[in-house]
Amino acid sequence: MTSNIKLTFLGTADQIPSANRNHSAILLNYNEENILIDCGEGTQRQFRKAKLNPYKTTRILITHWHGDHVLGLPGLLQTLAMSGYNKTLYIYGPKGTEFLMRGLLKLFNFKKKYEIKIKEVQGKFFETKDFYLEAKSMEHGIPCNAYFFEEKSKTRIDKKKLKKSGLPLGPLISKLKSGKNITYKNKKYLAKNLTYTDTGKKISIVLDTLLNKNITNFVKNSDVLICESSFSSDLEDKAKEHLHLTSKQAGEIAKKAKVKKLILTHLSQRYEKNPKKILNETKKIFKNSTLAKDLMVVEI
Ligand SMILES: [Zn+2]
Ligand SMILES: [Zn+2]
């Protein structure tokens, strides 16, 4: 599908940011939607560095309430208030998000200048005619969600075949497009012969979690899987202890789920000098893997 999904990695560090890696935040742009996934400390400045306008943010998806994923929220919300943000801002998160968000707004004495709608989500939670968003619980010691964005597939007319058929443009074509067979001058035309399916794209985001049985199914057939990889495979015990994934596990998930492309993020300072260690381990299992960098842009 000729879609315009643009991902900007605003922050790719784990708990401790470094000179090169900011706390977690990813912006997914699709038409008028600008969906921010997590908002670690410093996200506002990352917006500026990426030459993106934070006022265009439409929704914020919170994976979980560890500081490295949410410490940038109060600052961003305040900036939006001071800059005349006049839309409703939707904030989605796992169980507990409503209580924690209310606490955060109170703590920073947030003056209500625009509408903020907070929703604790699970399963499919938002849908338009073009796409939908889904959440799934992960295992990270506290409530934690993985998310995916999926564009809806569309039935399109095969223009070459249509021209050959000699059918006139107009309401009959709309009927074909909606999957109905038509009759024209006593001849029957089957929708399946004159149309094709334009498959929508799926982008999945799995940040902090212990390896669990839900992941593979949830991210199945993604065009892009963004997955945390906090530990190298030799530290699997440590990853388990801290409820995180290893490079090897991320690769295995991508392979089993038959995703097209894997992007690793949430990198530890431990690998600052040698991030290839993580990437090479993953690539042994899943070839089409890359390592996210701050301000990296991926168009799908
Ligand atoms: Zn984290
Ligand atoms: Zn965490």
Q: Which ligand is nearest the CA of 144, by number? A: 2
pTM beyond cutoff 0.75:
yes
Yes or no: say if 29 and 8 are a contact pair by the CB < 8 Å rule. Answer: yes
The CA 109 to ligand 1 mean position distance, Å, reads: 26
Q: What is the pLDDT of residue 2?
A: 54
- Expressed in angstroms and rounded, the spacing between residue 102 Cα and the centre of ligand 2 is 20
Higher confidence at residue 47 or residue 173? 47
Cα 51 to averaged position of ligand 1 atoms, centre (Å) = 25
pLDDT band at 169 (very low <50, low <70, confident <90, very high): confident
- Which ligand is in closest contact with the Cα of 11? 1
pLDDT digits (tens, 9 = 90+) for 17-60: 999 999 999 999 999 999 999 999 999 999 999 999 999 999 99
State the ligand closest to the CA atom of 66: 2
Q: Is 29 helix (H, G, I), strand (E, B) or coil?
A: strand
pLDDT surpasses 80 at 1: no
Measured in angstroms, how far is the CA atom of residue 243 from the centroid of ligand 2?
A: 8
Report how far residue 117's alpha carbon sits from residue 77's, in angstroms, rounded to the nearest whole number.
12
Dihedral, 61, 286, 280, 229 alpha carbons, nearest 10 = 20
Q: Tell me the residues surrounding ligand 1 (ion) with CB < 5 Å.
A: 68, 208
Q: Please give the Cα distance from 273 to 278 (Å, whole number).
A: 11
pLDDT value at 224 more than 70: yes
Residues forming the active site = 68
Q: Report the C-alpha gap between 75 and 87 in whole angstroms.
A: 18
Tell me if 222 sits within 8 A of 148, measured CB to CB: yes
Quick one: which of 53, 58, 135, 129 has its CA closest to 91?
Answer: 58
Percent of the chain with pLDDT over 70: 99
What's residue 56's pLDDT? 97
Dihedrals phi, psi of 284, to nearest 5 degrees: -60, -30
pLDDT band at 179; cut points 50, 70, 90 = confident
How many angstroms separate the alpha carbon of residue 142 from the centre of ligand 2?
8
Cα maximum dimension of the chain: 72
pLDDT at site 3: 60
pLDDT bracket for residue 232 (50, 70, 90): very high
Nearest ligand (C-alpha, residue 40): 1
Give the pLDDT confidence of 124-146 residue by residue, as tens digits: 999 999 999 999 999 999 999 99
Name the band, by pLDDT with cuts 50, 70 and 90, for residue 166. Answer: confident
Q: Residue 83 half-sphere exposure, CB side, CA atoms within 13 Å?
A: 14
Question: What tokens does 155 get?
Answer: 């039935």
Strand partners of residue 61: 37, 92
Going from the Cα of 158 to the center of ligand 2, the distance in angstroms, rounded, reads 47
| Averaged pLDDT score across all residues of the chain | 95
Alpha-carbon distance of 139 to 123, in angstroms, equals 16
Could you report the per-residue pLDDT of 180-209, keeping only the tens digit for each?
999 998 999 999 999 999 999 999 999 999
Alpha carbon distances (Å) from 203 to 16, 195, 258, 263, 292: 26, 26, 13, 11, 15
- Would you tell me how many other CB atoms lie within 10 Å of the CB of residue 283? 18
pLDDT, residue 278, reads 96
Residue 294 has pLDDT above 90, yes or no: yes
The helix (H) or strand (E) run that includes residue 131 is: strand 131-137
Q: What is the pLDDT of residue 218?
A: 98
For the chain, counts of helices (H) and of strands (E) = 11, 18
When pLDDT is cut at 50, 70 and 90, the band that residue 110 belongs to is: confident
Amino acid 109: pLDDT: 87
Which pLDDT band holds residue 245 (cuts at 50, 70, 90)?
Answer: very high
Output 166 or 279, whichever has higher pLDDT.
279
Query: Can you read off the two tokens belonging to residue 41?
Result: 């400390």
Q: 117: pLDDT confidence band, cut at 50, 70 and 90?
A: very high
Which residues have C-beta within 8 Å of that of residue 91, sequence separation ≥ 6? 59, 60, 62, 97, 101, 116, 117, 118, 119
- CA quadruple 249, 276, 265, 30: dihedral positive or negative? negative
